[in-house]
């Protein structure tokens, strides 16, 4: 290289230096090419992806808003439904029109609640769910009323309301009929038991105690024990009254079935009553523990009430004897028989022939000595025998 002073200088480049410059030029070319590619192609793609991300963020935000609003509305409807149910269950002075109005309101509220529940389920479970509203203010609209599906819901609700009203009317009629029926039957049963009321009181019993025992009693002839209805105290009081009436009717009906009321012979002719009398053998005063029915040898003797034979055979003084246990502590005894038609352990129904009249044992002639006992102790059976 020449200089202004005429001197000449020479430079020598090594292979490494030449290679380094070559690599630098190649790198520069690659960088320029990549920058051009990014600027021309990749940058718009990134911008598109960024825009999509923003859109998804906006959708997600609207989705959360939808969900919160739905939840708020859902809670409000659920609270209204509980208030309606509370009024229906606790209000005792509501008229039929007020009840019908509350039932219609309840059905409509339930329809809205079901609609919102469906929307909430969709929000939580459907990954492709797309918010239907762009502004929170739009969510304050009654969704079920602005949806096309609501027309069908309203139709179904109307049909359901009409059905519930029909069912309610039928329920009132059924309760009324059953209540009247049990009341009438209860009076009939009570009238039938009136004639033995004095005797029952003398035995230390009363109607309520006997009804309770009768309902709890069970055997293969009377049937299983009566199970009282257990009702929610929040229900209309008419249902509890009906349940009490059914319990009373069941107890009285069982008592009329189980108690030995009636005569053990077809033709009733009493020759000796219960109480103190002159003994026909020695003339002394002795207590007669039953009723004597006149009859010929071979007269058929009947069971008065369902029961089980607890004794069938000879008994001192009584001769051939049959004793029937009817439950509740009551039993009947047939003495001086000529023949016994049953054996110990047999079950007998009303009208079953337990034996034939005779004069066995300590007897002055053909007749039936008949006793009714409570807890093994004889009492005056005259009120039980007289129809």
DSSP-derived secondary structure for 14-48: -HHHHHHHHHHHHHHHHHHHHHHHIIIIIHHHHHH
Q: Are 331 and 310 in contact (CB under 8 A)?
A: yes
> What are the pLDDT digits (tens) for 216-243?
999 889 888 888 777 777 777 777 777 7
Lowest pLDDT segment from 2-11, 190-199, 308-317? 2-11
**96-125 vs 43-90: helix crossing angle, rounded to 10:** 160
Lowest pLDDT segment from 5-19, 203-217, 241-255? 5-19
Model confidence, pTM: 0.56
Cβ count within 10 A of residue 248: 20
User: What's the confidence (pLDDT) of residue 138?
Assistant: 46
- DSSP strand pairing (291-294 vs 307-315): unpaired
pLDDT at 116 over 80: no
User: What is the pLDDT of the chain when averaged over all its residues?
Assistant: 79
All CATH 2.70.70.10 domain ranges of the chain, comma separated, are 270-385
User: What's the confidence (pLDDT) of residue 171?
Assistant: 60
Over range 276-303, report the average pLDDT: 87
The residue with greater pLDDT, 209 or 160, is 209
If phi over 0 gives left and psi between -120 and 50 gives alpha, with beta otherwise, what is residue 6?
A: left
CATH (residue range 270-385): 2.70.70.10
């Amino acid at each position: 290289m020449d200089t202004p002073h005429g001197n000449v200088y020479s430079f020598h480049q090594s292979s490494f230096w030449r290679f380094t410059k070559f690599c630098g030029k190649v790198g520069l070319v690659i960088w320029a090419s990549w920058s051009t590619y990014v600027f021309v192609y990749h940058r718009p793609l990134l911008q598109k992806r960024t825009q999509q991300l923003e859109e998804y963020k906006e959708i997600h935000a609207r989705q959360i808003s939808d969900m919160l609003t739905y939840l708020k509305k859902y809670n409000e409807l659920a609270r209204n439904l509980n208030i309606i149910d509370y009024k229906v269950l606790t209000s005792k002075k509501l008229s039929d029109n007020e009840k019908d109005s509350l039932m219609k309101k309840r059905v409509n509220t339930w329809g809205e609640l079901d609609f919102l529940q469906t929307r909430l389920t969709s929000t939580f479970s459907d990954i492709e769910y797309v918010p239907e509203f762009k502004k929170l203010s739009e969510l304050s609209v009654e969704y079920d009323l602005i949806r096309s599906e609501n027309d069908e819901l309203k139709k179904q609700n109307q049909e359901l309301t009409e059905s519930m009203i029909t069912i309610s009317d039928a329920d009132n009629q059924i309760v009324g009929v059953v209540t009247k029926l049990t009341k009438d039957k209860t009076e009939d049963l009570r009238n039938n038991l009136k004639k033995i009321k004095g005797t029952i009181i003398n035995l230390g019993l009363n109607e309520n105690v006997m009804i309770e025992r009768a309902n709890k009693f069970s055997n293969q002839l009377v049937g299983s024990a009566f199970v009282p209805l257990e009702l929610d105290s929040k229900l209309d009081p008419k249902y509890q009254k009906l349940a009490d009436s059914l319990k009373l009717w069941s107890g009285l009906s069982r008592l009329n079935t189980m108690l030995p009321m009636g005569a053990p012979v077809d033709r009733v002719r009493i020759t000796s009553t219960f109480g103190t009398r002159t003994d026909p053998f020695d003339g002394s005063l002795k207590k007669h523990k039953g009723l004597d029915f006149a009859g010929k040898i071979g007269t058929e003797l009947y069971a008065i009430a369902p029961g089980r034979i607890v004794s069938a055979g000879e008994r001192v003084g009584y001769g051939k004897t049959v004793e029937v246990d009817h439950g509740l502590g009551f039993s009947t005894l047939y003495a001086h028989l000529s023949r016994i038609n049953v054996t110990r352990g047999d079950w007998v129904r009303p009208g079953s022939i337990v034996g034939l009249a005779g004069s066995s044992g300590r007897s002055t002639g053909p007749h039936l000595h008949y006793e009714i006992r409570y807890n093994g102790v004889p009492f005056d059976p005259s009120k039980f025998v007289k129809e």
